[in-house]
Structure 1
Amino acid sequence: MKIGVGLTMMDRQYPGYLDSLVKYSEIGYDVLDYSMYSEGEGSIFLQDGWQAYAEKLREVADKHNLWFAQMHSPGMGPVGREPMEEVKLELTKRAFEFCSILGTKHLVVHPRMFTDGIYGQNQERILEYNLQFYGSLLPYARKYNVTIGLENMFAWDPQKRQYCPTTFSDVEEMLECIRRLGDEHVAVCFDTGHYNVLGKNPAEGVRILGDKLELLHVHDNFGNGDHHLAPGYGTINWTEFMQALKDVGYKGTFTAEAESMSRKLPAAAEYDAAKLTYSILKALVEEAGM
């Protein structure tokens, strides 16, 4: 199984994603996750010639035997509360072409969420909205042969002051969305931390998803926050999780989204944090015989 990491893990020590690629390769990573999550107005992807930047990324990655296995589209706030709605929708559409240049096969696109959509409220209305949302993106997915990854989510209850379920917290809801879309260019990106923060067992989520699970966001937490830590630094049972991946015949990459391992460290220590994270991921994969 190929081992991956999100590019943001060393962006202070090695400013500019191009500068860090050689370092990820040096550590031993096989694959990378390019995140457009924070892109908005002023993004390079809204400027003329942005394709040249993408081509340079691909060139450097190829030189160092790295593959951009997955990408994350821009993050969007709740419907009606996103100040850059049109900008981020345009960036999301352009992300498919970006994927094709990098050779990326999966683009993670969060579901559109609503402030009145926690604890299963208005679930059918919100699911219908998301069917239209993802349906509007499928022509781009087909054109560039990219699979959209639906990601399981969580929300914050301001009254109870605790994390709570929202759109796609229930993996069965994700499967229903895929069933209704009825297109091969849709699958699941399972986020281990998002599942754990709601008091759910990630291994059980994997077993329910089965062959619709095609990519992962691997990270740990203590069940009381989305901490984005490396496996073993929280409460997830990783032995059980790896066994579940084996049982369902998971064929994707093992890619960490554990940027908090480096965020509060001095910039000069980011390389060491990325190296430690890689060692943990590799040990899990090897112990599981994957």
Structure 2
Amino acid sequence: MAPRALGTMIVHGYPRASLDAELDLAQWIGAEALEILPRWRSYPDPAPLRRAAADRGLRVHSAHGCWGGEAIRAARVDLGSTDPKAHADSVADLRRCVDWLAEAGGRALVVHPGGLSDRAERDARRDALARGLLALADHARGTGVVVAVENMPPGVHPGSRMADLAGIVAELGRPELGLTLDVAHAHISADAASETLAAGPLLTTTHVHDNDGRHDTHHPPGRGTIDWPAWFAALDAIAYEGPIMLECVKRVREDRSTYMPEVLDPFVRRRTW
């Protein structure tokens, strides 16, 4: 399979991180695709971002939707909440995220299936998550946006295992729904390769960072214990053609020497600017 495009998350709308500096960093990494983490409480205008990225030959691929306290109007965003008001407010905020990403020109909205929860509430939370995803699919129809549910570290019921999320998305059967594989979350919950195989053809996008298999530290690839060749073999097995989206930009922003391009270079299409 041909090397996949390299992408990276950048932030937008944060007072201490200018857009130009974030785009400079993306180009230094060699990315061609972007995932945007907006400062959702301020709901920053996506139009200048879209223009600035395009002017540099970068494309907006995805955005990280609201979660927890990183919300727009809701007190907290939790798609698995069994509280009717909290659930309705969560869906409403994520609808706003769909609209924002459509205006930014992106395709995949990454959403969390919920937060830490009690295993005894699993069935009720699964029902709430399915209803929330169906409402978001209805809202995303015709926008070109796919709502891609992310696998979480242990403690989210359901949500920590990709097979559970894949089962929900497959049951709903909507083209506006897909999956995000967070390779480092998978490394903690099970292993990256098997969780990727569980996602199968529903895999829409990725979050790529490294850890020691115990703590979600968001280190750059090569700074942890993930078996990268095995993970890329699993991507080949499911014929995934989307970007390899780095989610370690905070570490790289703080110290560029932590980024080891040689770890991913055999598997990705990295641009030189």
Q: Same fold (TM over 0.5)?
A: yes
In structure 2, the partner of 1:151 is 150
Given candidates 254, 257, 265, the residue that maps to 2:244 is 254
What letter is aligned with 1:92?
L
Structure 2: give runs of 5+ residues left out of the alignment.
Answer: 69-75
**Residue identity in the other structure for 1:235:** T
- Does the alignment pair 1:232 with 2:233? no
**Is the CA contact (8 Å cut-off) linking 1:72 and 1:107 kept in structure 2?**
yes
Compared CA separation, residues 225 and 188, structure 1 to 2 (3 A): same
Q: Which moved more, 1:201-210 or 1:19-28?
A: 19-28
What is the Cα-based RMSD across aligned positions, in Å? 2.9
C-alpha separation in 2, matches of 1:114 and 1:26: 36
CA-CA distance at 1:95 after TM superposition: 1.5
Residues 100 and 278 of structure 1, relative CA distance in 2, 3 Å threshold: farther
2:199 paired with 1:209: yes
1:139 aligns with 2:141: no
Alpha-carbon distance, 1:64 to partner: 0.4
Tell me the CA shift for residue 238 of structure 1: 0.6
What are structure 1's unaligned runs of at least 5 residues? 156-163
TM-score (norm 2): 0.82
The residue aligned with 2:8 is 5
2:211 is aligned, of 221, 231, 234, to: 221
- Offset at residue 85 of structure 1 (A): 7.4
CA contact (8 A) 1:18 1:57 kept: no
The answer to whether 1:69 aligns with 2:41 is no
Q: 1:114 to 1:222 in 2, by over 3 A?
A: closer
Q: What amino acid sits opposite 2:211 in the alignment?
A: N
Report the Cα distance in structure 2 between the residues aligned to 1:262 and 1:215, rounded to whole angstroms.
21
Change (3 A) 1:125 1:90: closer
Counterpart check, 1:285 vs 2:268: yes
1:33 matched residue in structure 2: 35
Aligned residue pair count: 255
Displacement of 1:55 after TM fit? Answer: 1.1
Amino acid paired to 1:212? L
SS in 1 for 2:117: coil
Partners of 2:257 and 2:175 lie apart in 1 by 37
Instruction: Report the equivalent of 1:123.
Output: 122
How high is the TM-score relative to the length of structure 1?
0.78
1:212: how far off? 1.0
Percentage of identical aligned residues: 22
Question: Residue type matched to 1:258 in 2?
Answer: C
Correspondence list, 1:266-285, <5 A: 269=255, 272-273=256-257, 276-278=259-261, 280-285=263-268
**SS class of match (2:219):** coil
- Give matches, 1:162-181, under 5 Å: 164=155, 166-181=157-172
